Amino acid sequence: MRKSIFKRVFVSVIASALLLTGCSSGQSSTESKKDEKVSFKNVPERFAKGEGAKIKVIRKIGGDDHTAQYLAGAKEEGEALGFQVDTYTANGDTAKFHDAIAQALQEDYDGYIISHGDDAATVNDVQKLVDAGKSVVTFDSISDLSKIDGVTLTSQDDEALATLAFDKLIEEQKGEAAIAYLWVDGFPPMVRRNAVYQEKLKENPGIKEVERFGVASADTSVQTQNAVAAMLNKYPKGKLDAIFATWDAFAIGAARAIKEAGRDEVKIYGIDVSNADLQEIQAKGSSWSYTAAVDPKLIGAVNMRILAKKLAGEETPQTYDLEASLISQEQIQASKEAVNMANLSGIVEGWGVSTEFEEEWMKVLKEHYKK
């Protein structure tokens, strides 16, 4: 009896051991196969060793969907490469923006992406980062940053954005229109867009600016809505034909005011796009005819790739402009399904897709860190 019990216990122990060994072997095999998926042969040394990087993305403007998309694009691309990525937006507060950069310098980040730095203080901030041996990429920031060695200045092709949108206004209004201009000074992209606008006005004397408004704040769209509502009261039907909005926060406020006033004969030609914008453009009776844009999520991703190349010690350009696209209301409203930033690529050719600065070693890291 005791012999039989001992035999059963012994067999049970052996079986358990074999099971555990099998599980252990299976796990090792899986890990081994995972490691076999990628070869780090051509991956830059710091990343091949698993050092990774700690990145801070700091943006001056905020409170809008475009900012959220941009930050998401940078964060997702960085994390896909195995980086730690922290983001911050100052929501238009200059003091908070500069404080965030100063604080980040004390937090031992390897690289920084600075968005919408528009003053001399930004140049001083970035110089301090570079002097501390940090890598920096900027987006839509002051051009004086080009004087700092090693810094890459990226932007949307603002000249193309303004040209695409305003040319459509001229075409659809047949060169004769009374328009309102929604624009705010002081931001590099706005300065570039305004240069195109002023030139177009000279070339097309039949286009007359009768009103303008512009403020950059946490509630830009609300303030714009109120301002445009006042304009519509001032200019009855036949006295205002179109609105040129150089920022989607302006355009969405204008669209809401026009809808409330029942003045859909006033057409909007805008710049930038977001989920909220697309919802407004595809709404029945919307006055928003065209918007020119670059995918904000892609901008964030491309900025992160350039920064990764800097950290790898690879050559990067001093400047880089992202290509613009024109999106029409007709395209959006013809879709059989609701259009958003995720499926816009199925409507606008080439939207949200770019292999710029995506090196083969980045694909290796993405495969390695893929969840």
> Which tokens is 321 given?
């402009």
pTM: 0.81
Helix axes 120-131, 94-105, angle to 10 degrees: 10
Whole-angstrom distance, CA of residue 15 vs CA of residue 254: 74
Query: CA-CA distance, 257 to 229, in Å (whole number)?
Result: 5
Query: Per-residue confidence of the chain (371 residues) as pLDDT tens digits?
Result: 433 443 444 444 334 433 333 333 333 333 333 445 568 889 999 999 888 999 999 999 988 888 999 999 999 999 999 999 999 999 989 999 999 999 999 998 999 999 999 999 999 999 999 999 999 999 999 999 999 999 999 999 999 999 999 999 999 999 999 999 999 998 889 999 999 999 999 999 999 999 999 998 888 999 999 999 999 999 999 999 999 999 999 999 999 999 999 999 999 999 999 999 999 999 989 999 999 999 999 999 999 999 999 999 999 999 999 999 999 999 999 999 999 998 999 999 889 889 999 999 999 999 999 87
Q: How many CB atoms lie within 10 A of CB 17?
A: 10
The DSSP bridge partners found for residue 181 are 212, 244
